[in-house]
Amino acid sequence: MIYVRAGVGRILIGKQLLPRSGKKCQALALSGHCALISDSNVAPRFAERVRRSLSLAGFYPTLITIRAGEKSKTLEQARAICDQMIAAGINRQSFVVGLGGGMIGDISGFVAAIYHRGIPHVQIPTTLLAMVDSSIGGKTGVDTRVGKNLIGAFHQPSLVIDDLDVLKTLPRRQFNQGFAEIIKHAIIADTKMFRTLQLWEAGAAPALQRLIKRNIQIKSRIVAKDERDRTGQRAVLNFGHTVGHAIERAGNYRKFLHGEAVSLGIVAACAISVKRAGLRPDQRAAIVDLLARFGLPTRLPPNFPRKKILDAVKFDKKFEGGKVRFVVTPGIGAAYAADNVMLDDICEAVKAL
């Protein structure tokens, strides 16, 4: 098992951690009742193991299961969860455990941030994407009709438990989407990891454990410089996300998984980087090839509503006065938030997808 420090909490990476999750929470000096929040896909597989572990450690868990999918990440759903927590007697001395992928991490963290003005949050990610990205950094939130994560709060998890065994149950498409965020981290911060990924061979658990640890270190280091996303240093983590989020919305959160949309957003960001940041065309080609190597999309279907993508971009939190705080890469291993990217540049890149 590997321990990683990240912000105010810590992260455990290893095997057979679900049955020990209660003891790991106990080590944080947590006590009393807790809400175990999961979704309709994950709960039937893993919730009972976590619930039993929490009970054996002396906690009183209440399982709250919501419908799987991004459509459940709403303010209305958060309110319903809070109502169930109140009915279960969960109070200021209680805590929240989020068991699931990125959607569950976002909404369980948001609930923990607002319930009694903030109670501890423990995350147990069940997807590779959530392990390497969304569970790190303390961003929580829910979606609105016009955009993703427009209502949210910063609330760092006290503990993240990455059990590698749960990844064995993921369908290949779900597993592969995590590599979009891994490749993103390599592009913005680690040329050596980019080369490692070019030679990657699936199946070795120790190698995967090291890869997850490295990605956590990259993101944690960036977040530590700009925890509340105010100075622009944390903005580099949004590489590929401005267009990626817009693609998700244009597809009604059904056409593409988050990592798949980010992959397409990375392709668009690379096209803009060639034009605005001096990215070499051969490096752009290497990035696109690497995304394709992990089964990630690099082109939109011909009939995809591209106009909806551009409409959605305007609601992005990073869009201001006709310009976007758009993250570009001048070369693999580096990135920055550019102030010279215009909406026309994004239009051109989207049309080329």
Q: pLDDT (tens digit, 9 = 90+) per residue, 224-267?
A: 888 887 777 899 999 999 999 999 999 988 899 999 999 999 99
Give start-end residues of each CATH 3.40.50.1970 domain in the chain.
2-169
For residue 294, count other CB atoms closer than 10 A to its CB: 19
Which CATH architecture fits 192-352?
Up-down Bundle (1.20)
pLDDT at residue 6, rounded to an integer: 62
CA nearest 82: which of 116, 38, 122? 116
Residues 220, 130: Cα–Cα separation, whole Å: 14
Give start-end residues of each CATH 1.20.1090.10 domain in the chain.
192-352
pTM (whole model) above 0.85: yes
Residue 112: partners with Cβ closer than 8 Å, 6 or more residues away: 95, 96, 98, 118, 119, 120, 121, 140, 155
Q: What is the DSSP letter of 18?
A: G
Question: Residue 95 forms beta bridges with which residues?
Answer: 34
pLDDT at residue 318, rounded to an integer: 60
Res. 173 pLDDT band, cuts 50 70 90: very high
Mean pLDDT of the residues in the chain? 93
pLDDT at residue 322, rounded to an integer: 56
CA 140 to chain centre: 10
CA nearest 297: which of 253, 267, 264, 269? 264
With beta carbons less than 8 A apart as the criterion, state whether 328 and 273 touch.
yes
pLDDT at residue 35, rounded to an integer: 98
Tokens of 165: 């065994």
Q: Is residue 119 exposed (0-12), middle (13-18) or buried (19+ Cβ within 10 Å)?
A: buried
Asked which of 53-67, 109-123, 162-176, 300-314 is least confident by mean pLDDT, the reply is 300-314
Pairing of strands 334-338, 326-331: antiparallel
pLDDT at 321 over 80: no
pLDDT at 88 over 90: yes
How large is the average pLDDT for residues 100-111?
A: 98
Res. 158 pLDDT band, cuts 50 70 90: very high
Provide the H-helix boundaries in the chain.
21-26, 48-56, 75-87, 102-114, 128-129, 172-189, 191-198, 205-225, 241-250, 258-276, 281-293, 306-313, 343-352
Residues 105, 38: Cα–Cα separation, whole Å: 9
pLDDT at residue 325, rounded to an integer: 81
CA nearest 148: which of 227, 234, 70? 70
For residue 205, count other CB atoms closer than 10 A to its CB: 13
pLDDT at residue 313, rounded to an integer: 85
Residue 165: partners with Cβ closer than 8 Å, 6 or more residues away: 15, 16, 17, 18
Residues 104, 42: Cα–Cα separation, whole Å: 10
Which CATH architecture fits 2-169?
3-Layer(aba) Sandwich (3.40)
Residues 53, 157: Cα–Cα separation, whole Å: 19
Residues 84, 177: Cα–Cα separation, whole Å: 32
